[in-house]
Structure 1
Amino acid sequence: MEAYTIRKARMSDIKVMHRLLMSCAQKSQLLPRSLNSLYGHVRDFYVAEEIATGTPVGCCALTICWEDLAEVRSLALDEAHKGRGVGRAMVQTCLDEASQLGLSRVFALTYVVDFFRRCGFSEVEKDTLPQKVWSDCINCPKFPECDETAMLITLPSR
């Protein structure tokens, strides 16, 4: 992981992030996000940057849903950089921020269950996340036949 750094996203990262997200969406690894959505939520995002080249190779967002609940979403990583701990580091960065904000629970809706399990998340029923269902899911073209798995981690109290 020492060849990468995780930092807050900048406006100049948006097009690279969009390309990474669309590449993963085409492989059915996540749901796509529009450029408009990325510009509007850039403050939620982190970017994994290859130190040697300064090139963004991955992204991940932490979106606050409720007073005690946030979501790790839009985790995308360039194929050439997978298996090096970069994805896990991005998720941990999101969990660290959630903890600093005083949040107690973080969830993910994912097709990559084993990865999130290795990050400490456990499977839960989607109905345990009503804030997500009624804020975002209701507008999803897959609703109510969602095929993603809901996963949750409870953070240690600070």
Structure 2
Amino acid sequence: MDKLYLRKARIGDVKSIHGILMNCSRQDLLLPRSYSDLYSHLRDYFVVCDDPGNNIMGCCALSIVWDNLAEIRSLAIVSSIRHMGWGGRLVEACLSEALTLGIYRVFTLTYQTEFFARQGFREISKDMLPQKVWADCLNCPKFPDCDEIAMLMEM
């Protein structure tokens, strides 16, 4: 396998990001994202790619939600590089960007609680999150019966 590296997503990455997210969605690892959502939030995404930069192997987004609150979402890694530390590196990149932006509270809604606990997140009640968080939920196929777990990191 070629050398892998992490970078901000580019417009040419959207179809690959969508494919990775849809594959993980079919495995019930995360919720799907539409092309429209990906294009309108592309600047939120980091990707892991091979050395030429054409083969996207993973992604993760930091979405600003409210004053001093952001969400890590759409963390997905292709199976061939899972358990190699790239998920943690993507989360670190998002957390670093949050700090750069002056955001010190980052949450995630996830099925992967053990992974996020290892990154320093703690499980919280969804009621601790502001109503603004739930705007995206209206478009979710699981609304109103959300089974994701809320986790928070305060830096």
Pairwise TM-score range, normalised by the shorter structure: over 0.9
Q: Map 1:49-60 onto structure 2 (within 5 A).
A: 49-51=49-51, 54-60=54-60
Structure 1 partner of 2:19: 19
- Would the alpha carbon gap of residues 96 and 68 (structure 1) be closer, same or farther in structure 2, given more than 3 Å must change? same
Structure 2 partner of 1:82: 82
After TM superposition, give the deviation of residue 144 of structure 1 in Å.
Answer: 2.3
Aligned length: 153
TM-score, normalising length from structure 2?
0.93
Gaps of at least 5 residues in structure 2 are none
Q: Partner letter of residue 102 of structure 2?
A: G
Structure 1 partner of 2:63: 63
Structure 2 partner of 1:100: 100
Name the SS of the counterpart of 2:102 in structure 1.
Answer: coil
Deviation string 1:73-128 (CA, Å, 9 cap, x unpaired) is: 00111000001100000000000000010011000000111110111100001111
Q: Distance in 1 between matches of 2:52 and 2:11?
A: 21
Q: Partner letter of residue 128 of structure 2?
A: T
1:129 correspondence with 2:134:
no
How much identity, in percent, do the aligned residues show?
49
After TM superposition, give the deviation of residue 72 of structure 1 in Å.
Answer: 0.3
Q: Partner letter of residue 47 of structure 2?
A: V
Name the SS of the counterpart of 2:143 in structure 1.
Answer: coil
Whether contact under 8 Å (1:4, 1:86) holds in the other structure is no
Gaps of at least 5 residues in structure 1 are none
- Would the alpha carbon gap of residues 12 and 53 (structure 1) be closer, same or farther in structure 2, given more than 3 Å must change? closer
Runs ≥4 residues deviating over 3 A: none
Q: Partner letter of residue 33 of structure 1?
A: R
After TM superposition, give the deviation of residue 140 of structure 1 in Å.
Answer: 2.2
39-48 or 49-58: bigger deviation: 49-58
Q: Distance in 1 between matches of 2:82 and 2:52?
A: 17
After TM superposition, give the deviation of residue 56 of structure 1 in Å.
Answer: 1.3
Structure 2 partner of 1:113: 113
Q: Distance in 2 between matches of 1:18 and 1:95?
A: 22
Structure 2 partner of 1:150: 150
TM-score, normalising length from structure 1?
0.92
After TM superposition, give the deviation of residue 51 of structure 1 in Å.
Answer: 2.7
Give the aligned CA root-mean-square deviation in angstroms: 1.5
Q: Distance in 2 between matches of 1:82 and 1:146?
A: 26
Name the SS of the counterpart of 2:16 in structure 1.
Answer: helix
Q: Distance in 2 between matches of 1:107 and 1:27?
A: 22
Deviation string 1:11-33 (CA, Å, 9 cap, x unpaired) is: 10000000000000000000000
Q: Distance in 2 between matches of 1:41 and 1:99?
A: 19
